Amino acid sequence: MQIIIDQKAYQAEKNQCVLQVALDNDIYIPHFCYHEDLEVEANCRTCLVEIVKPGADTKEKIGEIVTSCTLKASEGLVVNTKSKKVIALRQENLSLLLSHHKFDCGTCPRGSICAVNESIVKNKVDITKYQSTPTDMPVIALGTAAEFDSNVCIACNQCVKICEEIGIGYLKLEGKGVNNRVAATDDPKIDCIYCGQCTVHCPVSAIQEQSHLVGVEAAINDPKKIVIAQMAPSVRVSIGELFKMKTGKNIEKKLNTAFRKIGFDKIFDVNFGADITTLVEANELIDRIKNNGVMPMFTSCCPAWVKFIEFYYPEMIPHLTTARSPQIHAGGAYKTWWAEKEGIDPKNIVVISIMPCTSKKYEAGHKKLKIDDMFPVDYVLTTRETATLIRRHGIDLETISSSEPDVLGEYSGAGVIYGASGGVMESALRTVSYQLLGKNIDRIEFAEVRGMEGIKKATITLADKKIHVAVVTTPKNARIILEEIKLNPKAYDYIEFMACPGGCIGGGGQPIPSTKRIVKKRTEGLYKIDSTKSCRSAHENKHAVEFVEYCRQNDKKSHQLLHTTYSKKQRGE
């Protein structure tokens, strides 16, 4: 059907809301509580439009001001997004809404990339109009990953909804009237898993990552330090969104130059770590199959998923692969094997991971992962923090030249698809088949484990062996599969679990907004990189193979650098 917005006709689908039609056509309407994947809240009251002519099924009257998130597209509907009445009421509601917002833009990890900022500028909002009584509620930490400041919250409810939707329900809104704010549940059976989905759904940075920007900038400014940047697969196809570039476009070569400009000394890649992880994990899977180990084996590269198991299903811990995660494998490699080769004192190395994730911050701080008293990874920046860092250095990603990474920045196609749900599984299958047969099989792509569905199941035949696999995202779906395993322990051999919808590519540290449609495009970007690589399997990454062999020279190194352990976690641990 057709509707008319500001005198121009646009195609709309039945039941689509007018706000979505506008956003899809680059018509600016401010909005804070609306998210296309979540149930309509309609509480911020800023997405106002005026009815010029009601549509066939529109109940509203001519001249009525309505929220466009609740207004359904209807044949013949005509709305105005810029009438005098709309502008005045929007300004008033924005002034009221932001009377509660603490403006610390200078230190905010969002910097100038911010919906609040955009709404003020585009709507000419007087933010001094209403003074709010300052509240002084403590900032609540979500582990060492994220934090929320109720004093900044505008009660939009997005964080609560997404936390419920993924199956955790740690956050809630509480308090009446002006005290209606985000809070943590006091239910002792519920704990946060640090996935950060709340942070990627917070329009005003009331919930955000615990920022490592200060530490990163200090390391860069310290001439004694050799500062290594390693970027996770997902970042290269998503960070461009924060610079008005196309979603899903791989801009890793521009980022290499940007990171060098900022002052990083070496540009390596978490994908190198992913290749190490695949080698270790594939080996363990074969070992478990051959030697009747605990089956099915679960992946463990998502720290939020690991926290989920350690808190909610500690009895299932033996199913987790002992393989460390990619950022930890790679960080360990730089500070031992690479440092030895280069003759560098590893104490001078600072490893900075650039991740689509908040739980990676939590993981980086695990003391159990230390190697010779060094953390493998020193700081973790989210995709959003990284964009702020780039902005602060005045770098224009659009025009910056391309450059190659340093030597450990080379990776296989298997490494890069780690960013997508099913990618860890597919990478492992490529290498398991090689390790079982001693040669590559004809098949490289496993489409049956790709895609956005929350639960994917497949039976894969490798070297005459049938392997039953599942690929799962979000705790809600994980519970379904874990309960199935309790009833039928032999249902699967190997299961990939990720906390975030779509996998890391839909992670809690990713650009805002992050929607299913956007995540799908980012995912396509990852598979495109893989399909154009000549090296598409972990066992073809010679650096990764060399490092694993280095570790396997003795048990201590192997344990210290390749494997880890897990334990039952208490609330808040």
Write each residue from 508 to 527 as x if it is in contact with another protein (CB under 8 A), else as -, in one continuous string.
Answer: --------------------
- Return the number of the residue (32 or 148) whose C-beta is nearest another protein: 32
Q: Which of the stretches 42-50, 205-213, 450-458, 462-470 binds another protein when contact is defined by CB under 8 A?
A: 42-50
Q: Which of the stretches 138-146, 178-186, 288-296, 556-564 binds another protein when contact is defined by CB under 8 A?
A: 178-186
- Return the number of the residue (31 or 430) whose C-beta is nearest another protein: 31
What's the CA gap between 41 and 159, in Å, rounded?
A: 12
CB 229 within 8 A of CB 354: yes
Backbone angles phi, psi at 117, to 5 degrees: -55, -45
Instruction: Determine if 150 is a binding residue for another protein (CB under 8 A).
Output: no
- Return the number of the residue (20 or 431) whose C-beta is nearest another protein: 20
Those residues whose C-beta lies under 8 Å from the C-beta of residue 231, and which sit 6 or more positions away, are 252, 255, 269, 270, 353, 354
Shortest spacing between CB 37 and another protein, in angstroms: 17
Q: Is the peptide bond before 203 cis (omega within 30 degrees of 0)?
A: no
Instruction: Determine if 158 is a binding residue for another protein (CB under 8 A).
Output: no
Shortest spacing between CB 341 and another protein, in angstroms: 59
Q: Which residue of 127, 178, 218, 463 would you call a contact of another protein, by CB under 8 A?
A: 178
Shortest spacing between CB 188 and another protein, in angstroms: 19
- Return the number of the residue (70 or 403) whose C-beta is nearest another protein: 70
As given in the structure block, the two tokens for residue 568 are 């039952």
What's the CA gap between 561 and 148, in Å, rounded?
A: 34
Instruction: Determine if 61 is a binding residue for another protein (CB under 8 A).
Output: no
Instruction: Determine if 176 is a binding residue for another protein (CB under 8 A).
Output: yes
Instruction: Determine if 322 is a binding residue for another protein (CB under 8 A).
Output: no
Q: Which of the stretches 130-138, 269-277, 298-306, 468-476 binds another protein when contact is defined by CB under 8 A?
A: 130-138
Strand 465-473 to strand 455-462: parallel, antiparallel, or no bridges (unpaired)? antiparallel
Write each residue from 80 to 119 as x if it is in contact with another protein (CB under 8 A), else as -, in one continuous string.
Answer: -----x---x--xx--xx-xx-------------------
What's the CA gap between 81 and 267, in Å, rounded?
A: 46
What's the CA gap between 547 and 2, in Å, rounded?
A: 60
CB 239 within 8 A of CB 387: yes
- Return the number of the residue (98 or 242) whose C-beta is nearest another protein: 98
Those residues whose C-beta lies under 8 Å from the C-beta of residue 37, and which sit 6 or more positions away, are 515, 516
CB 428 within 8 A of CB 469: no
Shortest spacing between CB 90 and another protein, in angstroms: 9
Instruction: Determine if 491 is a binding residue for another protein (CB under 8 A).
Output: no
Shortest spacing between CB 200 and another protein, in angstroms: 22
State the residue for tokens 């200078």: 106
- Return the number of the residue (70 or 185) whose C-beta is nearest another protein: 70
Instruction: Determine if 175 is a binding residue for another protein (CB under 8 A).
Output: yes
The one-letter code for the residue type at 498 is M
Q: How many CB atoms lie within 10 A of CB 343?
A: 6
Q: Which residue of 179, 221, 348, 531 would you call a contact of another protein, by CB under 8 A?
A: 179
| Secondary structure string (H, E, C) spanning 336-362 | HHHHHHHCCCHHHEEEEEEECCCHHHH
CB 492 within 8 A of CB 485: yes
Strand 349-355 to strand 379-382: parallel, antiparallel, or no bridges (unpaired)? parallel
Compute the CA torsion angle 395, 398, 404, 408 (nearest 10 deg).
70
- Return the number of the residue (32 or 272) whose C-beta is nearest another protein: 32
How many residues are there in the chain?
573
Q: Which of the stretches 35-43, 102-110, 438-446, 472-480 binds another protein when contact is defined by CB under 8 A?
A: 35-43
What's the CA gap between 463 and 29, in Å, rounded?
A: 56
Instruction: Determine if 40 is a binding residue for another protein (CB under 8 A).
Output: yes
By CB under 8 A, how many residues form the interface with another protein?
Answer: 32
Shortest spacing between CB 176 and another protein, in angstroms: 6
Q: Which residue of 120, 146, 152, 155 would you call a contact of another protein, by CB under 8 A?
A: 155
- Binders of another protein among residues 336 to 355 (CB under 8 A) are none
What's the CA gap between 59 and 69, in Å, rounded?
A: 15
As given in the structure block, the two tokens for residue 3 are 């509707």
Shortest spacing between CB 473 and another protein, in angstroms: 27
Instruction: Determine if 46 is a binding residue for another protein (CB under 8 A).
Output: yes
For the purposes of burial, counting CB atoms within 10 Å of the CB of 567, is it exposed (0-12), middle (13-18) or buried (19 or more)? Answer: exposed
Shortest spacing between CB 113 and another protein, in angstroms: 23
The one-letter code for the residue type at 529 is I
Q: Interface with another protein by CB under 8 A: which residues?
A: 40-46, 48, 59, 65, 67, 70, 85, 89, 92-93, 96-97, 99-100, 130, 132-133, 154-155, 173, 175-180
